[in-house]
């Protein structure tokens, strides 16, 4: 089990972040970017799982810009609430919050530490922005539906993206547009999987796709974050 800590962005904004640490020395750091449901129980469990695999994981509460302690479940009503919060926060303010999370990982692990980013849903697109705008060692985005808005930006570190073939909100032609524009980005499409397929609390949870995406993700981290600190 992890704990919440306090972080401060370079613009002075103070916010919470969930921190999960491994039992022994960390292999590397991971910045975990939330869905539209906040740093809820699912995102906390994702951090805990990465910690169990040897990574120091921090998930910034990006909604703190507008509303603190957001912890939503997965219903039609909470989807609407989360989307409204996401639209209110926008795409600019999350970047310094992610930067603060990266800085916290480097402060704890050392300046030479390797740091990765992984994001889900809204966080999948924010992970893309982190890859393009911030200093990272690798990035993974799960079902980032708005990456197309930023398709002209170039990732600065090795990037992997996961999408479901049955995701009603992310047409496959938009995924192929990303692939065409960024041949160096590793893109995987999972047959039969919908949006949010890696969350076991969602109706679209797809265990087979989740297991394969996690296997690929952990190999990506091992390749690019593999050096022990």
Instruction: Work out the number of other CB atoms within 10 angstroms of the CB of residue 112.
Output: 8
The CATH fold assigned to 3-225 is Rossmann fold (3.40.50)
Query: What band does 227 get if pLDDT is binned at 50, 70 and 90?
Result: low
Q: Is the confidence at residue 229, as pLDDT, over 60?
A: no
User: What tokens does 152 get?
Assistant: 């002209």
User: What tokens does 41 get?
Assistant: 């129980």
pTM, to two decimals:
0.96
Query: In the chain, pLDDT over 90 holds for what percent of residues?
Result: 97
Q: Is the confidence at residue 104, as pLDDT, over 70?
A: yes
- Per-domain residue ranges of the chain: 3-225
User: In whole angstroms, what is the distance from residue 190 CA to residue 213 CA?
Assistant: 8
Grouping H, G, I as helix, E, B as strand and the rest as coil, residue 183 is: coil
pLDDT tens per residue, range 148-189: 999 999 999 999 999 999 999 999 999 999 999 999 999 999
Q: Which residues pair with 164 in a beta bridge?
A: 190
Give the up-direction half-sphere exposure of residue 227: CA atoms within 13 A in the CB hemisphere.
Answer: 8
């Amino acid at each position: 089990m992890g704990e919440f800590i306090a972080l401060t962005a370079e613009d002075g904004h103070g916010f919470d972040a969930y921190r999960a640490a491994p039992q022994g020395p960390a292999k590397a750091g991971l910045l975990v970017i939330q869905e539209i449901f906040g740093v809820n129980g699912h995102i906390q469990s994702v951090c805990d799982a990465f910690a169990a695999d040897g990574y120091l994981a921090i998930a910034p509460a990006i909604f703190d810009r507008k509303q603190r302690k957001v912890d939503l479940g997965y219903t039609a009503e909470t989807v609407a609430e989360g989307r409204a919060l996401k639209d209110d926060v926008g795409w600019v303010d999350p970047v310094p919050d992610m930067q603060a999370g990266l800085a916290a990982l480097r402060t704890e692990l050392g300046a030479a530490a390797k740091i990765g980013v992984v994001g889900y849903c809204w966080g999948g697109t924010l992970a893309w922005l982190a890859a393009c705008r911030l200093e990272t060692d690798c990035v993974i985005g799960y079902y980032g539906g708005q990456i197309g808005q930023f398709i002209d930006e170039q990732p600065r570190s090795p990037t992997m993206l996961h999408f479901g073939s049955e995701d009603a909100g992310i047409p496959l032609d938009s995924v192929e547009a990303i692939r065409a524009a960024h041949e160096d980005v590793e893109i995987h499409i999972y047959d039969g999987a919908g949006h949010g397929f890696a969350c076991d609390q969602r109706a679209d949870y797809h265990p087979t796709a989740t297991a394969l995406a996690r296997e690929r993700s952990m190999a990506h981290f091992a390749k690019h974050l593999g050096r022990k600190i």
